[in-house]
Structure 1
Amino acid sequence: MGQKSSVPQPGTKFQVIGAGLPRTGTASFSRALEILCDGPVFHCGTQATLGPTIQIKQWMEILRRWLAGTDSDREIMFQTLQSQLDGYAAVTDSPGSQFVPELMELYPDAKVICTVRDAISWEKSMDQVRNATVPWYLHLVLLPLPGLRYFIPYLHLLAAQWEKLYSEAIPTRQSYHRHIAWLKEVVPEDRLVFFEVKDGWEPLCKALGRDIPKDQPFPHINDSDAIAAISKMHIQRGLTRWAAILAVGAAAVAWAVRT
């Protein structure tokens, strides 16, 4: 989680709706859920950037249908959402965390667990991630990459959903608090758990009714390092692809001139 994509396992029971926003320890939480739920976890940020192209395209379809909001759009949205998560034990990170009511309808037995942290430090962290992952030239650099060419339009859809839910497109401490308040409105109290990854296994295992894993420390994945590494990797891939395209173009022009 956070460093490589997960592969669905057919027949896996869906058990947990991760309702925590990005940068609340979702990568560590995802890895912990993989251990406790004995199945792959769909970490949205990781799957969008490292997973197969179909996954980011399906999320774009889900977001478009959600934003449209008609009965026919909602029907297609539910079908696509269920198809996206088939074979996974849980979903974490955004936009999964913004589809809690829909996911509760699809998976009535799943626990809703929201990872949390201090709102002010979360806001600063989100600012850092946004500045690191969305430079002005990113869309052009990613254009030659099959899946990542959709990344900027995908971010625009995420921002539109964010604005509709929290009345602002850019994450701030106010939207963080609005998300928590929204969860308390839409999720029954006995089904909602708030969890800080720094607290380790005990509260998470208690929420899921599982024993604490023996001789296995709680996973701690540095999301910032993972995001920076993934961003750098994709930029290098994009530049390499552009270099190859330009080299082929230059060779074609040179051949045409000679002939």
Structure 2
Amino acid sequence: MAPLKVIGAGLDRTGTDGLSVALDILGYKTHHMRHLYFGQGDPDLFKKAYEQPENPIDWNAVYQDFDAAIGTPSVIFLERLMKQYPEAKIILTVRDPDAWYESVKSTIYQMTHQPAKASTPKHILQIREMAHAIVLDGSFGKPAEFLNAQAMKEKFLQHNAWVRKHVPADKLLVMELGKDSQWDKLCAFLGQPIPEVSYPKTNSKQELLQRVKARDFDKKNSL
């Protein structure tokens, strides 16, 4: 189905899951981390693409069943995807950096660092390894680095600043978590009619904390 028509530029825990569901409602087929948890796709491919940037990647094959891509792992390759799909529209989801860091630290960071069960599927372990290697320039795999809150918040702000600087204004939509009229802005940007359903609110911090508490690393997990 590639080429990609929409690419998410927001880091995880900025409303990326809700955006991916919203795009599906609008008729897109959106790639999100959940597809890797469902066993669709190879997390090692993304890990290798990050660790070996000199090697060419057939992005059309990676996204063959999709025309939109949101969140990790796609956001890690934003610059490369923008070059591959220059006509794609870019959506940057943002939030307060303090709230973002606390959300990441208490949810997906914990999920990728808890001891695995003996029954944990191989592809879930591969996803963890990928996250440790590529998220926030590998900071997920370096606890001492990730737990430097100020440094991580600086990475977050620098990422958002890069997007605003390098994406042409006519191709960029910035959506702030919890503050925007989401459907109005999104549909106007994409030229789509506003659906007769509420904008999706998914994957809340409370939901993820329940999964962390239960050590629930099965197909229900997504970032």
Give the C-alpha shift of residue 230 in structure 1. Answer: 5.4
Cα distance in structure 1, aligned partners of 2:36 and 2:51: 16
Give the C-alpha shift of residue 22 in structure 1. Answer: 0.2
Structure with max Cα Rg: 1
The answer to whether the Cα contact below 8 Å between 2:7 and 2:90 also exists between their aligned partners in 1 is: yes
| Counterpart secondary structure, 2:174 | strand
The answer to whether the Cα contact below 8 Å between 1:82 and 1:106 also exists between their aligned partners in 2 is: no
* Corresponding residue number in structure 1 for 2:47: 60
- From the two aligned structures, give the one with the greater helix fraction: 1
Give the C-alpha shift of residue 226 in structure 1. Answer: 4.6
CA deviation profile, 1:104-131 (whole Å, cap 9, x unmatched): 1221211000111111111111110145
Aligned residues: 207
For residues 169-188 of structure 1, what are the structure 2 equivalents within 5 Å? 170=146, 172-188=152-168
Give the C-alpha shift of residue 17 in structure 1. Answer: 0.5
Under a length normalisation based on structure 2, what TM-score does the superposition of the two structures give?
Answer: 0.80
Give the C-alpha shift of residue 210 in structure 1. Answer: 1.4
Are 1:94 and 2:72 an aligned pair? yes
| Counterpart secondary structure, 2:69 | strand
For residues 145-184 of structure 1, what are the structure 2 equivalents within 5 Å? 145-159=121-135, 161-162=137-138, 170=146, 172-184=152-164
Partner letter of residue 62 of structure 1?
A: A
Are 1:219 and 2:200 an aligned pair? yes
Partner letter of residue 109 of structure 1?
A: E
The answer to whether the Cα contact below 8 Å between 1:112 and 1:192 also exists between their aligned partners in 2 is: yes
CA separation of 1:169/1:17 partners in 2, compared to 1, >3 Å: closer, same or farther?
farther
* Corresponding residue number in structure 2 for 1:48: 36
CA separation of 1:197/1:32 partners in 2, compared to 1, >3 Å: closer, same or farther?
farther
| Counterpart secondary structure, 1:161 | coil
Paired-residue identity, %: 25
Relative contact order, higher structure (CA 8 A, sep 6+) = 2
Under a length normalisation based on structure 1, what TM-score does the superposition of the two structures give?
Answer: 0.70
Give the C-alpha shift of residue 151 in structure 1. Answer: 2.9
| Counterpart secondary structure, 1:216 | coil
Give the C-alpha shift of residue 203 in structure 1. Answer: 0.6
* Corresponding residue number in structure 1 for 2:221: none
Partner letter of residue 217 of structure 2?
A: H
Cα distance in structure 2, aligned partners of 1:90 and 1:33: 8
The answer to whether the Cα contact below 8 Å between 2:2 and 2:63 also exists between their aligned partners in 1 is: no
Partner letter of residue 234 of structure 1?
A: F
Give the C-alpha shift of residue 82 in structure 1. Answer: 2.7
List structure 1 segments (4+ residues) > 6 angstroms apart after TM superposition: none
In structure 1, the gaps of 5 or more residues are 1-10, 236-259
Cα distance in structure 2, aligned partners of 1:117 and 1:88: 26
CA separation of 1:63/1:115 partners in 2, compared to 1, >3 Å: closer, same or farther?
same
RMSD: 2.6
Cα distance in structure 2, aligned partners of 1:91 and 1:230: 24
CA separation of 1:133/1:33 partners in 2, compared to 1, >3 Å: closer, same or farther?
same
For residues 1-259 of structure 1, what are the structure 2 equivalents within 5 Å? 11=1, 14-36=4-26, 38-44=27-33, 46-52=34-40, 54-66=41-53, 70=54, 73=55, 75=56, 78-79=57-58, 81-138=59-116, 141=117, 145-159=121-135, 161-162=137-138, 170=146, 172-198=152-178, 199=180, 200-213=182-195, 215-228=196-209, 232-234=215-217
